[in-house]
Amino acid sequence: MKFEVQHTDAASDARAGLITTDHGQIQTPIFMPVGTVGSVKGVHFSELREQVKAQIILGNTYHLYLRPGLDILRQAGGLHKFNTWDRPILTDSGGFQVFSLTGIRKLREEGCEFRSHIDGSKHIFTPENVMDTERVIGADIMMAFDECPPGQSDYKYAENSLRLTQRWLERCVKRFNETEPLYGYNQTLFPIVQGCTYKDLRQDAAKHVCDVLAKLNDGGGASIGGLAVGEPTEVMYEMIEVVNEILPKDRPRYLMGVGTPQNILEGIERGVDMFDCVMPTRNGRNAMLFTYEGTMNMRNKKWENDFSPIDPDGCEIDRIHSKAYLHHLFKAQELLAMQIASIHNLAFYLRLVGDARQHIIAGDFVQWKRSVIDQLGRRR
């Protein structure tokens, strides 16, 4: 993987870059639709390409490990061939999912033992077998295995958790460097910065990640994890600033699981390059649409006889269908409603980061962001 910073914003830390992988290039800043089990909920890949214009999607190691399982993925030749997505893929390590299994997982130095949420069967994730699993999945970008501690953890727990994540990271890097990709194209590894909301722990974690990146055989970027898990928004922004002051400027920075359109613009201003979140599709399935003029609840009666396009400046589906039609589909509990709303929201998120990129290149990102950010949060 290669990363090139093409433009920087004079008034902030925002930057426009280009990531090059063996499955194609990614213009940053970028939003990555979440394809947990190898699919983005309710959206066909042709729509992801043509309507959403997604450049990269996510898969999740925990879910893909359980279903369809590694044997099927290996037989298929990896996730790209299994689901026919021919552009880049990133895989989460499954750490967040495993540690969300409260009461059915046990954490120790070796790794994390857990029971499947599907059938209760017992499994263990270690830094080594997670690297092996991500090799089998075959994503272009792999995440290191980490512990994602609760957002309100006390200092002692957060510090012990970080030390464990750091020891696991060293083991991930060793295994990554000892193994080769299985399908004839390159993969790269991203370490994850943890540390909860404690400035000194975040600084320590970021410095350690810098040291680790120098040991990787195949490039790599840095992920910022453990945020947007209940802490105040301003604290999240502060932690991003603390970490990005330390992380290398010549590597991509990925803020995991964030967030609202406003969160994304604030992250871009602070030097983040990559984002993912289930919010566009999850909110879309619940009739909530994001637009530059604010959010729309399509179940509200006010849209019943509004025959204007869903978004005249949006993707083709937005321009074809009216607000009244989408309102009708949701009231009728028609599956097409969730599909249209999901496509709209994903396309809007990609449009948002694409517009941010253009304003970074033009040199007026901060002014533009200030002109749109308040309106983005308005309820229409």
Name which of 276, 222, 227 is nearest 252 in CA terms: 222
- Report the 10 Å Cβ neighbour count for 184: 10
Model-wide pTM > 0.95: yes
Residue bearing the bigger pLDDT, 265 or 230: 265
**Length of the chain in terms of residues written:** 380
User: Using one digit for the tens of pLDDT, what is the confidence trace for 322-377?
Assistant: 999 999 999 999 999 999 999 999 999 999 999 999 999 999 999 999 999 999 99
Over residues 284-289, the mean pLDDT reads 98
Beta strand 24-28 pairing with 15-21:
antiparallel
User: Using one digit for the tens of pLDDT, what is the confidence trace for 151-191?
Assistant: 889 999 999 999 999 999 999 999 999 999 999 999 999 99
Q: Which CATH architecture has domain 29-278?
A: Alpha-Beta Barrel (3.20)
Check residue 105 and give its pLDDT.
79
Q: Residue 92 annotated as binding?
A: yes
User: Using one digit for the tens of pLDDT, what is the confidence trace for 89-129?
Assistant: 999 998 777 767 767 778 899 999 988 889 999 999 999 99
pLDDT, the chain, mean: 96
Q: Residue 95 annotated as binding?
A: yes
Q: Residue 290 annotated as binding?
A: no
List the catalytic residue out of 140, 273, 276, 311. Answer: 276
Q: Residue 94 annotated as binding?
A: yes
Single-letter amino acid code for the residue at 338: M
Token output for 145:
């295995």
The CA-based angle 19-140-284, given to 5 degrees, is: 85
List the catalytic residue out of 92, 140, 204, 311. Answer: 92
CA atoms within 13 A on the CB side of 312: 3
Angle between helices 155-178 and 127-137 (to 10 degrees): 50
Token output for 41:
């909920």
Enumerate long-range contacts of 298-307, CB under 8 Å, 24 or more apart. 298/323, 298/326, 298/327, 298/330, 298/337, 298/341, 299/327, 299/330, 299/331, 300/327, 303/327, 304/328
**Residue 310 gets which letter from DSSP?**
S
The pLDDT-based confidence of 14 (bands split at 50, 70, 90) is very high
Token output for 374:
């308040």
Over residues 286-308, the mean pLDDT reads 98
Check residue 135 and give its pLDDT.
98
Q: Which residues of 59-76 are buried (b: 16+ CB within 10 A; e: fewer)?
A: bbbbbbbbebebeebbeb
Check residue 102 and give its pLDDT.
66
Angle between helices 335-362 and 261-269 (to 10 degrees): 20
Check whether 256 has a pLDDT greater than 90.
yes
Check whether 316 has a pLDDT greater than 80.
yes
Name which of 32, 33, 37, 5 is nearest 19 in CA terms: 5
Check residue 106 and give its pLDDT.
85
The CA distance from 17 to 244, in Å, is 16
Do residues 264 and 222 lie in contact, with contact meaning Cβ atoms separated by under 8 Å? no
User: Using one digit for the tens of pLDDT, what is the confidence trace for 349-358?
Assistant: 999 999 999 9
Q: Residue 194 annotated as binding?
A: yes
Over residues 289-296, the mean pLDDT reads 98
Check residue 34 and give its pLDDT.
97
- Domain layout of the chain by residue ranges: 29-278, 284-376
Q: Residue 226 annotated as binding?
A: yes
Instruction: Provide the 3-class DSSP secondary structure of residue 103.
Output: coil
| Active site (annotated) includes residue 92 | yes
